[in-house]
Amino acid sequence: MPEYLGVDTSNYTTSAAVYDSTEKRIFQVKRLLPVKEGELGLRQSDAVFHHTKQLPDMIEQLFSTNGLSGPAVVSASVRPRNLEGSYMPCFLCGEGFARSLAAVDRLPVYRTSHQVGHILAALYSAEKLSLVRERFIAFHVSGGTTDCLLCEPDDELIVKVTELGTSLDLKAGQAVDRCGVMLGLKFPCGAELEKLAARADRTFNVKPVIRDGSCCLSGAENKCRTMLEKGESPENIARYCLDLVAATVAGMTDAAIEKCGRLPLVYAGGVMSDTIIRDRLVSLFPGAGFAAPEFSCDNAAGVAIFGCMKHTGVEKCL
Q: Which residue ranges make up each domain of the chain?
A: 3-126+295-317, 172-290
**Per-residue pLDDT of the chain in tens (318 residues, 90 and over written 9):** 689 999 999 999 999 999 999 999 999 999 999 998 878 788 999 999 999 999 999 999 999 999 898 899 999 999 999 998 999 999 999 999 999 999 999 999 999 999 999 999 999 999 999 999 999 999 999 988 999 999 999 999 999 999 999 999 999 999 999 999 999 999 889 999 999 999 999 999 999 999 999 999 999 999 999 999 999 999 999 999 999 999 999 999 999 999 999 999 999 999 999 999 999 999 999 999 999 999 999 999 999 999 999 999 999 999
- At residue 1, the pLDDT reads 63
* Half-sphere CA count of 5, side-chain side, radius 13 A: 25
Helix (H, G, I), strand (E, B) or coil at 271: helix
- At residue 36, the pLDDT reads 86
- At residue 290, the pLDDT reads 95
Confirm whether 3-126+295-317 and 172-290 share one CATH topology: yes
- Residue 21 DSSP symbol: T
Helix (H, G, I), strand (E, B) or coil at 2: coil
Beta bridge partners of 75: 6, 110
Pick from 135, 132, 133: which is nearest to 123 by CA? Answer: 132
Q: What Rg do the C-alpha atoms of the chain give, in angstroms?
A: 19
Output the CA–CA distances (angstroms, integers) from residue 212 to 142, 228, 259, 264, in the order listed: 21, 32, 10, 21
- The Cα–Cα gap between 282 and 71 comes to 37
- The Cα–Cα gap between 224 and 240 comes to 8
CATH number for 3-126+295-317 (one of 3.40.50.2300, 3.40.640.10, 3.30.420.40, 3.40.50.150): it is 3.30.420.40
For 172-290, CATH gives 3.30.420.40
- The Cα–Cα gap between 15 and 54 comes to 9
Residue 28 buriedness (CB in 10 A; 0-12 / 13-18 / 19+): buried
Output the CA–CA distances (angstroms, integers) from residue 306 to 43, 129, 284, in the order listed: 28, 11, 31
Q: Phi and psi at residue 288, in whole multiples of 5°?
A: -65, 150
Indicate the Cα dihedral angle 307, 308, 313, 318, nearest 10°.
-130
